[in-house]
C-alpha cells in the first residue's frame, strides 16, 4: 500500500507508476465547499476530473481503470478531508492494489 504525500498547497499535481502505467494525480481545494477534488490522468490521458474526496470511498471504484483503489482514510477519528486535514496528515490518501485489498479482507 502506498500513501500519497499531500502538500499544503490548494492546487498540486504529482505522478507515480501504478501497475506499469504512468498515473498523474491533481488535487485542488475548493474553499466554498471546504473539500478537496481529485483529478486523474493515466498515461497522459485525463480520465477523471473533479471527484470529491470523501473518507472511506474508493475514488476509482465506479470507473474500472484497473489500478486498484485510491481512498482517503481518517487517521484521527472523525477527521474529514478539509483544507487542513490532508496536508497535516489527519486524513491520508492511500493507494492499494486489488491483491492488497483481497488479502486485507480475507
Residue 103 confidence (pLDDT) above 90: no
Chain segment 1-31, per-residue pLDDT in tens:
899 999 999 999 999 999 899 999 999 999 9
Q: What is the pLDDT of residue 7?
A: 94
Helix (H) or strand (E) holding 18: strand 11-18
Nearest 5°: the CA angle 90, 5, 54 is 50
- The pairing of strands 69-74 and 91-96 is antiparallel
Rounded distance, CA 52 to CA 57, Å?
10
Question: pTM score, two decimals?
Answer: 0.90
Chain segment 26-60, per-residue pLDDT in tens:
999 999 989 999 999 999 999 999 999 999 999 99
Q: What is the pLDDT of residue 105?
A: 80
The most distant pair of C-alpha atoms in the chain lies apart, rounded to whole Å, by: 41
Task: Mention every residue, 6+ apart, whose C-beta is less than 8 A from residue 90.
Answer: 74, 75, 76, 79, 84
Q: What is the pLDDT of residue 75?
A: 95
Residue 104's pLDDT band (cuts 50, 70, 90)? confident
Amino acid at each position: 500500500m502506498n500513501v500519497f504525500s499531500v502538500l499544503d498547497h490548494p492546487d498540486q499535481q504529482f505522478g507515480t507508476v501504478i501497475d506499469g502505467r504512468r498515473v498523474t494525480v491533481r488535487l485542488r481545494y475548493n474553499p466554498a465547499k471546504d473539500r478537496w477534488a481529485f483529478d486523474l490522468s493515466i498515461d497522459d490521458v485525463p480520465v477523471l476530473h473533479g471527484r470529491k474526496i470523501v473518507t472511506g470511498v474508493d475514488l476509482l471504484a465506479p470507473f474500472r481503470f484497473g489500478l486498484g483503489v485510491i481512498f482517503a482514510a481518517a487517521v484521527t477519528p472523525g477527521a474529514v478531508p478539509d483544507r487542513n486535514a490532508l496536508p497535516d496528515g489527519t486524513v491520508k490518501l492511500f493507494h492499494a492494489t486489488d491483491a492488497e485489498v483481497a488479502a486485507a479482507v480475507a
